[in-house]
């Protein structure tokens, strides 16, 4: 699976958009980009995933560059409850070993 690079921490003002970047320059053609977040002492929460096209759901938007070497998760109107560690994972879902490999992630702090 391709490796990802994320900034270790970011701050965002409440009500503003939070843009979380992820680099995955070695991504291969079959690999998807997944985003999860984990609030302290809870299980990881699925946010969104994509292959090539930009994706949007009720939680967030995922923007994937045309060369697929990086992506950005956008929380359009961050709230205090969005404070969490955000993980970007790149993975081929049909590869033999099916686990999710979480890196260190980005610790997002939303401030009032």
Partner 1 sequence: DVKVTQSSRYLVKRTGEKVFLECVQDMDHENMFWYRQDPGLGLRLIYFSYDVKMKEKGDIPEGYSVSREKKERFSLILESASTNQTSMYLCASGGLEADTQYFGPGTRLTVL
Closest approach of partner 1 to the CB of residue 49, in Å: 6
Which CB, 66 or 99, lies closer to partner 1? 99
Instruction: Decide: helix, strand or coil at residue 95.
Output: coil
Looking up tokens 């699925």 gives: 46
Whether the CB-CB separation of 48 and 94 falls below 8 Å is answered with no
**Chain positions contacting partner 1, by CB under 8 A:** 32, 34, 36, 41-46, 49, 51, 93-94, 97-104
Closest approach of partner 1 to the CB of residue 88, in Å: 13
Closest approach of partner 1 to the CB of residue 12, in Å: 24
Which CB, 98 or 112, lies closer to partner 1? 98
Which CB, 14 or 32, lies closer to partner 1? 32
In whole angstroms, give the CA distance from residue 12 to residue 3: 26
Partners of 33 in beta bridges:
50, 90
Question: Which two structure tokens, joined as six digits, stand for 63?
Answer: 């923007």
């Amino acid at each position: 699976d391709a490796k990802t690079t994320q900034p270790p921490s970011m701050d965002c003002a409440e009500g503003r958009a939070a843009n979380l970047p992820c680099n995955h320059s070695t991504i291969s053609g079959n690999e998807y980009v997944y985003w999860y977040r984990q609030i302290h002492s809870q299980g990881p929460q699925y946010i969104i995933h994509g292959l090539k096209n930009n994706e949007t759901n009720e939680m967030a938007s995922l923007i994937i560059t045309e060369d697929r070497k990086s992506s950005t998760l956008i929380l359009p109107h961050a709230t205090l409850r969005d404070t969490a560690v955000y993980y970007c994972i790149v993975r081929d879902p049909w590869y033999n070993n099916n686990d999710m490999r979480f890196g260190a992630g980005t610790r997002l702090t939303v401030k009032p």
